[in-house]
Amino acid sequence: MGLTGELFIATQRVAGANGTFRAVSPATGAEIEPPFTLATVDDVEAACAAAEAAFPIYSNLPREKRAEFLEAAADEIDALGETLTERAMAETGLPHARLTGERGRTVGQLRLFAKELRLGEYLRARIDHAIPDRQPIRKPDLRLRMVPLGPVVVFGASNFPLAFSTAGGDTASALAAGCPVIVKGHSAHPGTAELVAGAVTRAAQKTGMPAGVFSMLNGPGNSVGSALVSDPRVKAVGFTGSRSGGTQLMKLAASRPVPIPVYAEMSSINPVFLLPSILEAKAEALGAAFVGSLTMGAGQFCTNPGLVLAVDGPALDRFLVAATDAVGVAPAQTMLSPGIHKAYESGVARMASSPALSQLAAGQEPGGPHCGRAALFSIAAKDFIADAEGHSEEVFGSASLVIRCADADEMLSVIGHLEGQLTATVHLDESDTDVARKLLPLLERKVGRILANGWPTGVEVTDAMVHGGPFPSTSDGRSTSVGTLAIDRFLRPVSYQDIPAALLPADLADGDAGIPRRVDGKPTL
């Protein structure tokens, strides 16, 4: 079936009656057919009502049934094959290999959450049996498990049109938790969103899910998105995008009569620390590898290395010569959307106009519209500290700032002036261990993932991954949006006290429930 431009409300394709829009090719600036319809307030109402009606049914399905739905969604997305990849290429300007990989990651995430459901560990089931004759008072029977929050609204991300959009990590983890999902489609890739929404809808129908388990609406964030977040039936929000958008949604959610959590991933500049001994030994190789990470995907990753810290001296000079050379030959790359390109250009212009910054290098001249040129700047640590907030603003794209520190102590002192980050990277060898020992506890307070001798771009989807961090990298640093722990965001604990056995959920019954549980203080399998 070709693209129809319709919305998805509770497994039905519905034409929105609020006008239409078309995707824009970032490579050519031309509009791409077909037109996509925009949701009305009635569509928001219908999607929320359907999600609310689906919740008691969907959340109480056996975990195996929800796992089968997630796997069927993965199969349906796989089956879209090149149709999906080609549409996503046209709408985002991202290359074929990247999108093929991202499709693999998207279906892999759905299947990983199916596995998580079967494992059942996420339920954190605990049983504390009663002690009827305990003195001075009886100890009651207490049993705990995690339950889903209710309908979740997901804002698709522009920079991961598959893995962090319609059926991406937020959607997969919310569906796994037992929450119906309403996606606010990103206006930059509506065709990609429609193809994926169709796949999820077919999977819901094939596996017998309640209709309102999944809906997808297109429309402006400040009307359709806000209406969804304000709806009393919505119980949580997942978002990836700009700091301003994320913080506005946080305020909106907090100002509701019943506030709800917003899990927003917003801005991070991902500091990279080059410790003295390894810098001395490998300055040139580090300089070239850094630029490889900086320019990957036109720098449009939340984990892009936007800040580098090192002690000033000949080794840093050698690093900068190598990095400057690599930036100088880096081709300009098509960015995700005209808006993102414009924001990048103005961010680079702001850096270039700062008297405290020196521009070291610029990438190749653009060969077409909406192409971003890499840019490299440096600053003295004392100048950075003097206006840390101003110099820490994320410039989404391949721009980075190198901080020249007088010594290792000054490098450590800069950390206190940094905002919360998704990642921090440390390049070190054995002789750097003493500095690293001081560095790591400082970084733990600022970031969600600390990595050694690598580059922050590239996020594995595994059980032990944290893709989160203190504000403003995310709105809630206690969580992750990548990896199986992401399911926690859409759950809350309920305790059952002295509930008769016949009424207890199967996962909390006596005997072998087939899941890991803590029974009377002892872990059991």
Each residue of 415-433: b (16+ CB within 10 Å) or e?
Answer: beebbbbbbbbbbbbeebe
For residues 8 and 155, which CB has a smaller minimum distance to ligand NAP in the complex? 155
Report the nearest approach of ligand NAP to the CB of residue 372 (Å): 11
* CA distances (Å), origin 456, targets 118, 181, 453, 467: 31, 30, 10, 11
Q: How many residues does the chain have?
A: 525
Under DSSP, the state recorded for 433 is H
Tell me the pairing of strands 262-265 and 181-184: unpaired
Dihedral pair phi/psi, residue 257, rounded to 5°:
-55, -40
Distance between CA atoms of residues 523 and 391, nearest Å: 48
Report the nearest approach of ligand NAP to the CB of residue 371 (Å): 15
For residues 99 and 146, which CB has a smaller minimum distance to ligand NAP in the complex? 99
Q: Would you call 302 a catalytic residue per the annotation?
A: yes
For residues 201 and 421, which CB has a smaller minimum distance to ligand NAP in the complex? 421
Report the nearest approach of ligand NAP to the CB of residue 249 (Å): 5
CA-only gyration radius of the chain, Å? 25
Residue nearest to ligand NAP (CB): 221
Report the nearest approach of ligand NAP to the CB of residue 263 (Å): 13
Report the nearest approach of ligand NAP to the CB of residue 230 (Å): 10
The helix or strand, by DSSP H or E, that contains position 235, with its residue range, turns out to be none
Helix %, strand %, coil % for the chain, to 5? 45, 20, 35
Distance between CA atoms of residues 82 and 96, nearest Å: 9
| Residues lying near ligand NAP in the complex (CB under 6 A) | 155, 157-159, 184, 186-187, 220-222, 225-226, 240-242, 245, 248-249, 265-268, 302, 340, 343, 394, 396
Q: Would you call 265 a catalytic residue per the annotation?
A: yes
Exactly one of 102, 116, 265, 280 is catalytic; which is it?
Answer: 265
Exactly one of 48, 179, 302, 371 is catalytic; which is it?
Answer: 302
For residues 3 and 54, which CB has a smaller minimum distance to ligand NAP in the complex? 3
For residues 77 and 459, which CB has a smaller minimum distance to ligand NAP in the complex? 459
Q: Is 178 left (phi over 0), alpha (psi -120 to 50) or beta?
A: left
Q: Which residues are catalytic?
A: 265, 302
